[in-house]
Chain A
Amino acid sequence: MSKKNKHISRRKFLGQASCAAIGTSTLFSSLINLKALNAAAIDNSMLSSNYKAMVCLLLGGGNDSFNMLIPRGTSEYGQYAITRSNLAIPQNDILPISALNPDGQLYGVHPSMTNMQSLFSGGNLAFITNIGTLIEPTSKAQFQSGVHPLPLGLFSHSDQTQQWMTGRPHERSAIGWGGRIADLVQSMNTNENISLNISLSGTNVFQQGNGTIEYTISSEGALGILGYEPDGWIYDQLRTEALDNMMGAAYQDIYKKTYVNTIKNSQLATIEFNEAIENTSDLATEFSPSELSQQFRMVAKTMQAREDLGFCRQIFFINFDGWDHHDELTLAQEAMLTEVDNALGEFNNAMTELGLQNDVTTFTVSDFGRTLTSNGNGTDHAWGGNVLVMGGDVNGGDIYGQYPSLELNNPLEVGGGVLIPTLSADQYFSELGQWFGVSNSDLNTIFPNVANFSDLDSGAPIGFMNI
């Protein structure tokens, strides 16, 4: 692209619609790749072409994902059944899927995941297999050497969840990769009160940036100050009036002024957010009553209000907790996978309804995979596992990575049915970042270990996104 074109495109771009504030950003050049910029300038419906959102679904506690994506070929299933013993899903119950680039093996998904099965067939869903936290590629011998760099606190919920959120398995960091991206991109949004990062699950490391934090909402909308009810019962009216007076007063003391201003601005954002949601039309897509479905519904409603709220880029976070199935794995996981399958299916329908199918990518993370072997009626903490990615820009219908042997004592198995991952979680995140429009140099800063696995400049590290 010539310099002249770039200039014109940018001005044209700035003249349009709600993402115009982008022009005020000094980070402009590093924020959006030129391709996205150019496309935005050419397309008159700039908003829909320019808007991009990621939805991160954390399956908190450690999903037993080798019962989510299952080998169904005779020999592989046989091995699976031996290793998993009483936890194995009956072969006939597995829902078959056909990957585009088969490795010669047959796969299926958990019997509860009918929507995922059809989304996979329709090309809107992909799996990534045996992925996990890694600092460097790691062999069994290196793992056992005691001196090879390994992620801190392997098998620990808190450390491993944190590393899936930070992309920094070598250190204990409080800053998440969603937050780091927001630090770069936040100024693209015209809304200064409401963060690019929106959480349906409260405080989380993933969305904590150096200069940005997430904006927390619930499945009902923004929460704001409890008991702040101008139209509530008399007690809350009195409270509301007092709070309004406190927030409205002038303070000489700079600490008091700063204290009050933060509360005031936050509460104003609450009001603004809820009004924008109320102004949206009803979705035709129906969502189940489960809390997870309702959370995805609110994500869809927020996207619906994106123009009103001034959003070009958004990252959503939902933590669906409770996968730590040391006991009663089979029944509990089935119930929870059903909820996930329903919620994702419904959300996908809503994206189609809103015309955002290609602009929104939903992906799962989880603390770790679980041990392949049974502890009686459950499984314990392990390492590598399987994740899923959904959206119109996903190169779906495929399984990425090398599905591991589930035989015990195989070269990746380090005891108790723990598998060393063969893909780094940071490769996964970098590719999502590339799709979102973050430059490779920024991604190499955000994910300091990804260069140990992939040269981002030579293309997508895994290939599951249409970039």
Chain B
Amino acid sequence: MQNKVFTLSTTFLFLFYFSSYLTAQVYEDYIGGGHSQGIEVVTSNDFSPNDWDEVASGGQSINGSGLDARLFETARFLSQATLGANRDYIESVAEMDYEDWLDGQFQIPTTSMFQETDSAFNVALDLYVQNGGDPEDYFGPYLPHFYYGLWRHNLMNEDLLRQRVAHALSEILVISLQSELGDFGYGLASYWDILQENAFGNYEDLLMDVSLSPMMGRYLSHFNNPLEIPSLNIHPDENYAREIMQLFTIGLYELNIDGSQVLDMNDQAIPTYDNDDIKEFAQVFTGLGPGEIMENPWVSDPIFGLDFYLTIKSEPMAMYEEWHDQSSKQLLNGYVIPAGQDGLNDIQDAVNHLFNHPNVGPFLALRLIQNMVKSNPSPGYIERVALAFNDNGNGVRGDMKAVIKAVLLDEEARSCVWLNEAYHGKLRAPIYRYYQLARANELESDDELYWNVGYDFLLLTEQAPLAASSVFNFYSPDFQPNGDIASADLVAPEFQIHNSRTSIGFMNSIYVNNNWALLWDWEGGTDDTRINFSVLEPIARDPEALLNHMDVVYTNGQLTEETRTIIKEALEGIQQNNFGNQYTTFRVRMALYLIMVSPDYAILK
């Protein structure tokens, strides 16, 4: 595996002196920008949930940026619903009704990530050959090609909501390329296609597609999983049986519709399943093997037990009845799968059985809310989303569109009265911060490939798409960091990867993005992607105006007076007399770095 290693050095700084920029866009400073005298824009009294967009706050009246309230609100909405937005996009959505925006997003067709990966691979292969390489020596497609496709797509796409939901689902229905799966680029892309194609579909279909995915089959070992063979002391693998319950559908304990645990007479939580149940489910997931196979010298047709390598990873696994356990299976709450059914019917029945468990609504509601909006939703919020899962209004259970609307349009997601609740908010996960930095800025790259492998980012922050360290995702929904959050008995999942290493790792990643490159790949002869700072240089003459811009795009109006003052002091230390004509560039870079690492940005309120 070729890994481009970068060396940090102050010499990179000099790149900025000699770079020539494209003609800078003329930036229209907004009325009153820079003259607010530090009056805080957001206060609890200035907003009412129902007519936020019609009222300019007192603070905004003074600073003259009265219409920013709608921009702040919209930026916050897009922080929840997308992987990041630039100012133009925020302004355009600010003029829309959010439900209309969601409906519009639902209509945008899916782009095949398989195709994106395939085309990135072919371009990369061509480059390799052009540079004198032997095509036989070029490996892939594997994980970098998947990432090239994924990143390029997510910098140019219009299906912003679909990609955000696919990312959220990838943190629930986890496979990871931190295993041999990283060798299989088409498989990774096809798994992504399952997530994004079902993102606005039905959760039951998603569960079925995931259960039959060879990538999941290999990751959780129900690929080539034989029925019980007592003579050889072989019993069905229990891995997938356990995780489809614990992590994909119902969780460990019986839940009420509002996400709270059902308690027995002794005030104890009631387990949803026990080890015997796992054994029954394990029998269901026997007999799945290769769907289609590559041409090879050994076998012409797929057979059970064939090496995973030969399996075509974009095709669902096939059922081999002779390896499937045909006995009856006692599933949960008295449900029985009768003996003698076809294997795929068994799996469909088991998936349907789990899908209809009353836990799934609140289970999925909590996870989606935590990913998109806040770590500690109120029981009422969970309940409203769970009810939408149970019935979309037309009697359909599991309609993802209804669930997504319920998550994003809920009063608790939208109303600013929640901003002042101590437990409202969440730590933005590092990968979403990275995406936002890329999506919020104008980018420059000579070859316009915009490829990114993001592997250094993964090493620094422990996060990249489909790269969790285990099936338990990057973080657990009930993780409690020590200190105030645990003392308050609250959870904060993303803090599980905010530790002594990754907290600084993220800052250093931003440092590199700021000083050298934002995105880069593992190919030879390609151009890195950099942030075009020049766009913001005109307003950087006035630190206050620059910070007002940052407050819209990054902190959604939540930049506190204290942080604003700290950053402003740093910006004011950068003057023409000590930095020359490039001083505005240095100011933009400084502002971007400090905003990105500030608690006001890291915590999404």
Binding site for B on A (CB under 8 A): 145-147, 152-153, 156-159, 162, 171-174, 193, 195, 202-203, 205, 208, 213-216, 223-227, 234-235, 238-239, 241-243, 245-246, 249, 251-263, 265-267, 269-270, 321, 324, 327
Q: Are B593 and A239 neighbours in the complex by a CB distance under 8 Å? A: yes
A-B contact pairs, 11 of them (CB 8 A): A153-B180, A158-B183, A203-B460, A215-B501, A223-B504, A226-B507, A246-B563, A253-B599, A254-B483, A255-B425, A258-B481
The answer to whether B470 and A172 have CB atoms under 8 Å apart is yes
Within 8 A of A (CB), among B580-605: 586, 590, 593-594, 597-600, 602-603, 605
Contact A258 B483 (CB under 8 A): yes
- B180, B485, B598: the one contacting A254 at CB < 8 Å is B485
Do B221 and A146 have beta carbons less than 8 Å apart?
no
- Give Cα distance in the complex from A227 to B507, angstroms: 10
Residues on A with beta carbons closer than 8 Å to the beta carbon of B96: none
Q: In the docked arrangement, what's the CA distance between A260 and B224, Å?
A: 48
Question: A residues within 8 A CB of B599?
Answer: 246, 251, 253, 255-257, 259-260
**Of the candidates B232, B594, B603, which one forms a contact with A253 in the assembled complex, judged by CB atoms under 8 Å apart?**
B603
A60 to chain B, nearest CB (A): 10
Interface residue total, chain B, C-beta cutoff 8 A: 73
Q: A174-B469, A256-B603 are contacts. A266–B495 as well, Cβ < 8 Å? A: no
Q: Which of A156, A174, A246, A267 contacts B180 (CB 8 A)?
A: A156
Which of chain A's residues has its CB closest to B462's CB?
Answer: A203
| A235 engages B500 (CB within 8 Å) | no
A159 near B180: Cβ-Cβ < 8 Å: yes
**Contact yes or no, B501 A263, CB < 8 A:** no
Residues of A within 8 A of B469 (CB): 174, 205, 208
8 smallest beta-carbon distances between A and B, as pairs: A156-B180, A174-B469, A256-B599, A266-B500, A153-B180, A174-B470, A254-B484, A242-B570
What distance in Å separates the Cβ of B415 from its nearest Cβ neighbour in chain A? 18
**Residues of A contacting B570 with CB < 8 Å?**
238-239, 241-242
Kindly identify, within residues 469 to 483 of chain B, every residue whose CB is under 8 Å from any CB belonging to chain A: 469-472, 481, 483
A171 to B593, CA, bound (A): 40
Asked if B492 is at the interface of the complex by the 8 Å CB criterion, the answer is: yes
B488 at the interface (CB under 8 A from A): yes
Contact between B499 and A254 (Cβ–Cβ < 8 Å)? Answer: no
Q: Which residues of A contact B597 (CB under 8 A)?
A: 243, 246, 263
A253 and B179 in contact (CB under 8 A), knowing A147-B232, A267-B504? no
| B-chain residues with CB within 8 Å of residue A234 when the two chains form the complex | 573, 578
The verdict on B305 contacting chain A, using a C-beta distance below 8 Å, is: yes
Besides A203-B459, A245-B566, A262-B499, 10 other A-B contacts (C-beta < 8 A) = A146-B224, A159-B180, A227-B593, A235-B579, A241-B569, A243-B594, A253-B603, A255-B427, A256-B600, A258-B495
Enumerate chain A residues within 8 angstroms of B186, measured Cβ to Cβ: none
Q: Which residues of B contact A (CB under 8 A)?
A: 1, 3, 8, 137, 176-180, 182-183, 219, 221, 224, 226, 229, 232, 234, 239, 305, 375, 422-423, 425-427, 459-460, 462, 468-472, 481, 483-485, 488, 490, 492, 495, 498-501, 503-504, 507-508, 511-512, 562-563, 566-567, 569-570, 573-574, 578-579, 586, 590, 593-594, 597-600, 602-603, 605
Nearest CB on A from B443, distance (A)? 22
Q: What is the CB-to-nearest-CB distance from B5 to chain A, in angstroms, rounded to a whole number? A: 10
Tell whether, in the assembled complex, residue A156 and residue B179 are in contact, meaning their CB atoms are under 8 Å apart: yes
- Is A242 a contact of B500 with CB atoms below 8 Å? no
A171 to B242, CA, bound (A): 13
Chain A residues in 8 Å Cβ range of B459: 202-203
Q: Which residues of B contact A263 (CB under 8 A)?
A: 503-504, 507, 597
A215, A224, A256, A261, most chain B CB atoms within 10 A: A256
Q: Which of chain A's residues has its CB closest to B510's CB?
A: A226
Q: Which residue of A lies closest to B483 (CB)?
A: A258
Cα A238 to Cα B425 in complex, Å, equals 30
Docked Cα-Cα span, A263 to B177, in Å, equals: 28
Residue ID in chain B nearest A142 by CB atoms: B232
> Of residues A146, A241, A262, which shows the largest number of chain B Cβ atoms within 10 Å of its Cβ?
A262
Most chain A CB within 10 A, of B8, B178, B570, is at B570
What is the CB-to-nearest-CB distance from B466 to chain A, in angstroms, rounded to a whole number?
Answer: 13
**Would A158 and B569 be within 8 Å (CB), given that A172-B471, A255-B492 are in contact?**
no
B residues near A153, Cβ cutoff 8 Å:
179-180
- In the assembled complex, the Cα of A309 lies from the Cα of B176 at a distance in Å of 37
A156–B573 CB distance below 8 A: no
Query: Does B511 contact A226, Cβ atoms closer than 8 Å?
Result: yes
Closest to B8 in A: A226
- B567 touching A242, Cβ below 8 Å: yes
Report how far A145 CA is from B223 CA in the complex, Å: 16
Whether A213 pairs with B501 at a CB distance below 8 angstroms is: yes
A390 to chain B, nearest CB (A): 28
* Residue among A242, A260, A266, A270 with the highest chain B CB neighbour number at 10 A: A242
CA distance A269 to B427 in the complex (A): 23
* Docked CA distance A397–B368 (Å): 59
Contacts of B488 in A (CB 8 A): 254
Report the nearest A residue to B375, measured CB to CB.
A255
Q: Which residue of A lies closest to B180 (CB)?
A: A156
B586 touches A235 (CB 8 A): yes
Contacts known (A172-B219, A239-B590, A241-B570); A246 close to B1, Cβ less than 8 A = no
Q: How far is the CB of A218 from chain B (nearest CB, A)?
A: 10
Q: A257 — which chain B residues lie within 8 A by C-beta?
A: 483-484, 599
A235, B490: Cα distance in complex, Å: 39
Measured CB to CB, the closest approach of chain B to A316, in angstroms, equals 15
Which residues does chain A contribute within 8 Å of B221, judged by CB atoms?
152
Closest A residue by C-beta to B598? A246
A349, B182: Cα distance in complex, Å: 40
Most buried by B among A152, A195, A203, A324: A203
A224 and B485 within 8 A (CB): no
CA separation between A23 and B423, bound complex, in Å?
38
| Shortest CB distance B506–A (Å) | 9
A196 to chain B, nearest CB (A): 13
> Chain B: which residue is nearest A240 at the CB level?
B570
Q: Say how far B76's CB is from chain A's closest CB, in angstroms.
A: 15
Min CB distance A13 to B, Å, is 29
Of the residues B1, B375, B563, contact of A324 by C-beta under 8 Å? B1
Using Cβ atoms and an 8 Å threshold, which residues of chain A touch B471?
A: 172
What residues of chain A lie closer than 8 Å to B375, measured between beta carbons?
A: 255
With a cutoff of 8 Å between Cβ atoms, the chain B residues found around residue A238 in the complex are 569-570, 573-574, 590
Q: How far is the CB of A254 from chain B (nearest CB, A)?
A: 4
B residues near A255, Cβ cutoff 8 Å: 375, 425-427, 485, 492, 599, 603
Contact A239 B594 (CB under 8 A): yes
Could you say which of A145, A159, A223, A227 contacts B179, with CB atoms under 8 Å apart? A159
Cβ-defined partner of B483 (8 Å) among A203, A226, A261: A261
Contact B602 A259 (CB under 8 A): yes
> Are B567's CB and A213's CB within 8 A?
no
Contact B511 A259 (CB under 8 A): no
A259 — which chain B residues lie within 8 A by C-beta? 427, 495, 498, 503, 599, 602-603
